[in-house]
Amino acid sequence: MIEDFSINDTVQMKKPHACGTNAWRIVRVGADIKIRCLACDRLIMMDRQDFVRAAKKIIARAENGEGNE
């Protein structure tokens, strides 16, 4: 379960996407979280609480502090 995340962070989700990868980039942060699949570019929007529950870990942080909450 992760709690400190920001835009452009790359996260690993617990379950893989239909395309086979579980790596996603955070595109929007607010009450809802929008993430983009790194393999097939599919966008998914989910409730913040669901995102925190479904995310496993942060793979890479955003460079240069871009998009901090």
Residue whose C-alpha is closest to residue 59's, from 17, 20, 21, 32? 21
pLDDT of 22 > 60? The answer is yes
- The tens digit of pLDDT for each residue in 42-66 reads 999 999 999 999 999 999 998 865 5
Alpha-carbon span 4 to 46, nearest angstrom:
17
Q: Across residues 7-29, what is the average pLDDT?
A: 95
Q: Which pTM does this prediction carry?
A: 0.85
